[in-house]
Structure 1
Amino acid sequence: MSVTRNNHYVPQWHQTRFLLPGRDTLSYLDLKPAMHAKGDGTLVPGKSLFQTPPVRAFCTRDLYSTFFGTDVNDEIERRLFGNIDARGADAVRAFCRTDQSAWHDHFQNLFEYLDIQKLRTPKGLQWLKTQYPELSQNELMQEMQGIRMLNVTTWTTGVREIVSAENSPTKFILTDHPITIYNHATPPKIVGMTSRQIPLSH
């Protein structure tokens, strides 16, 4: 079996919920495009705004890989995230419908997905690494799994609001760190979205 090394930190199913009808690519803005050398050796930034399919967006090589000598292991990508993502996708679909019994059935899975989605991005992993600067890649992956239910209890006992942009000409924007939580420095306003609200599709 081939090893998966191109790790999506925003799952492809999550990304496809932001595709416009009839489109199979996302408008992707790279705030830090890779630098390329011209023929004379001058470095210039690559394209910052382009179209890309979800398979090429929000992914990094070996983000979740663990290493044992020269062997590369992808069990975190396949087993941990594969399972959480599958249950998370079902939960998101359930909460986008009106069947309250399905909400009940998928309640815990939704928050488990949101919790790991907040932690698994490069920004989330960088935050974790700043808490433990000496961690190796293997140790970082162990620590991520150890605290992955960090927010679930708080979120499941809090007040939730599901918002829609269905009737708005301006839709939600998907970012490389799509789960945000309440920021006491930016209190909610009467008009507009608050940082407590979590869009899961456009």
Structure 2
Amino acid sequence: MKYKENHYVPCWYQERFLPTTGERKFRYLDLAPEQFRDPNGILRTKTALRRWGAASCFKETDLYTTKYGQYESTDIEQFFFGKVDEDGRQAVEFFSQYNSFNDFSGELSPDKVFNALLNYMSIQKFRTPKGLRYLSSLIRQTDKNRLLLEIQRLQNLHCALWTECVWSIASADDTEAKFIVTDHPVTVYNREIFPGSDYARTHTDPDIRMNGTHTFFPLSPTRMLILTNLSWARNPYGGGKKLRPNPRMFRTAMFNFTDIQTGRQLEEVEVNQINFIMKRRAHRYIAAANEEWLYPERKIPSDHWRKLDDRYLLMPDPRCLHLGGEILIGYDNGRSEAYDEYGHRPWQKGYRKKLKGDESRTLYAFQGEFARLFGPRRRGMNDNFGGRKPNDTDSAEFHRYHLDQEKKNLPAGLKQRRDARSV
């Protein structure tokens, strides 16, 4: 029956990572190949690396088929995931080429592509074998029919928090290695939660409500969307496991397209570090057009989970950030709405709460540390403050200003860490 072979990573998405010419096949790696006994009773391991096209990768038979007695239904695959993939495909393509807000023109709606991408990513995080296990632990339910219904009910679970993140799109145009595909492509990284820790094993992924959790998603072999909690981008010196302000998930949230950072060119080691994180967070399978990209651990200086973030691997450029961020909306009928940068409404506790001194100081200190680490050239630009600048390099005077801010504002207890990053 049609729709019974279910690709939990859609074929259209996989094909984005294959060459446009020549052989369109992946090097498809099984991270936990099964063992078997041959006719002589000798224990052997199945081949781990295969050469397969997208139609053969990242799929399970009847993964989304619901069964009620002898009756089977493929409606969820056909109608629910079909619509999600149709809208998501257009959104992924758009953001893979996004450079600035000026990219919106004609009939293309910012709201439509933004909501389609968020919805696709949120559902993609659930629809994989790893995601279904996570959902099962979340709702304490093992019945597959119930899990598939809950995906539809909880499909926007991650969207409000991702909306309030700092968005950046990084590029691997200038590197030999490109991004791989995994069986759990919406990946999260928290430097304080190691893959083998009790939390990661129990809950599958670090909680996106935690300050230090980055979410990232490959849009193409050369474009990576990275979402960082604003509270972490303002203060990466605090606890990465602490919950961000206003961590409630099902609510309205506002997004400012002019805040999206683009233009960051990744270095070779950074692409391999990102691929390494994706490989470690995968459930069982990864794929790439080039076999070498499947083994990023061979190309990085350290595979220590926390050390991967020693030079703020996934962080947006804090020099593009600012304090405040309240959004006011007026309607033709006279009604108005307001949101602060963490999604609080005027009647809610915490709305426009005066910034604690440590958050403003840590942002200024972080801007200075970033300037010292990477020099006056920005690692991302956005459309704020009068539009995108004609170049991405700060003047000598502005660069000195940022360097002075680190000296003035870096908390005393972090001097040793600052010196260590200078080595």
* TM-score of the pair, normalised by structure 2: 0.43
Q: Supply the distance in 1 between the matched residues of 2:214 and 2:49 (Cα, whole angstroms).
A: 26
Contact 2:96–2:220 (8 Å) recurs in 1: no
Letter in 2 for 1:25: K
Shift of 1:157: 2.5
Q: Which has the larger radius of gyration?
A: 2
Q: Give the SS at the match of 2:179.
A: coil
* TM-score of the pair, normalised by structure 1: 0.87
Residue in 2 that maps onto 1:196: 215
Letter in 1 for 2:157: L
Residue in 1 that maps onto 2:150: 143
The percent identity for this pair of structures is: 38
User: Of Structure 1 and Structure 2, which has the larger fraction of its residues in strand?
Assistant: 2
Contact 1:34–1:46 (8 Å) recurs in 2: yes
Contact 2:7–2:60 (8 Å) recurs in 1: yes
Residue in 1 that maps onto 2:90: 90
Residue in 2 that maps onto 1:11: 10
Letter in 2 for 1:55: A
Q: Supply the distance in 1 between the matched residues of 2:20 and 2:174 (Cα, whole angstroms).
A: 15
Residue in 1 that maps onto 2:187: 180
Give a deviation string over 1:115-170, Cα, whole Å, max 9, x none: 10111100010011123444311111112211111011111232111112121101
Give a deviation string over 1:82-138, Cα, whole Å, max 9, x none: 000010001111112342344714111011101101111000100111234443111
Residue in 2 that maps onto 1:191: none
Q: Which moved more, 1:155-164 or 1:7-16?
A: 155-164
Contact 1:95–1:103 (8 Å) recurs in 2: no
> 1:157-168 alignment to 2 at 5 Å?
157-168=164-175
Q: Give the SS at the match of 2:44.
A: strand
Paired residues in the alignment total: 194
Residue in 1 that maps onto 2:210: none
Shift of 1:195: 4.3
Q: Supply the distance in 2 between the matched residues of 1:123 and 1:156 (Cα, whole angstroms).
A: 24
Q: Give the SS at the match of 2:13.
A: helix
Residues 1:121 and 2:133 aligned together: no
Q: Give the SS at the match of 2:171.
A: coil
After superposing on structure 2, the runs of 4+ consecutive aligned residues of structure 1 that deviate more than 4 Å are none
Letter in 2 for 1:48: A
Aligned CA distance change for structure 1 residues 184 and 139 (closer, same or farther; 3 Å): same
Q: What is the root-mean-square deviation in Å for CA atoms of aligned residues?
A: 2.0
Looking at both structures, which has the greater relative contact order when contacts are Cα pairs under 8 Å and sequence separation is at least 6? 1
Residue in 2 that maps onto 1:75: 75
Letter in 1 for 2:63: L
Residue in 1 that maps onto 2:159: 152
> 1:91-110 alignment to 2 at 5 Å?
91-98=91-98, 99-101=103-105, 102=108, 104=110, 105-110=112-117
Shift of 1:41: 4.0
Unpaired stretches in structure 1, ≥5 consecutive residues: 187-193
Unpaired stretches in structure 2, ≥5 consecutive residues: 194-212, 222-423
Aligned CA distance change for structure 1 residues 69 and 77 (closer, same or farther; 3 Å): same
Q: Which moved more, 1:172-181 or 1:96-105?
A: 96-105
Q: Supply the distance in 2 between the matched residues of 1:164 and 1:103 (Cα, whole angstroms).
A: 24
Q: Supply the distance in 2 between the matched residues of 1:125 and 1:197 (Cα, whole angstroms).
A: 19
Q: Which moved more, 1:35-44 or 1:53-62?
A: 35-44
Letter in 1 for 2:65: S
Letter in 1 for 2:13: H
Q: Supply the distance in 2 between the matched residues of 1:3 and 1:67 (Cα, whole angstroms).
A: 15
Q: Give the SS at the match of 2:175.
A: coil
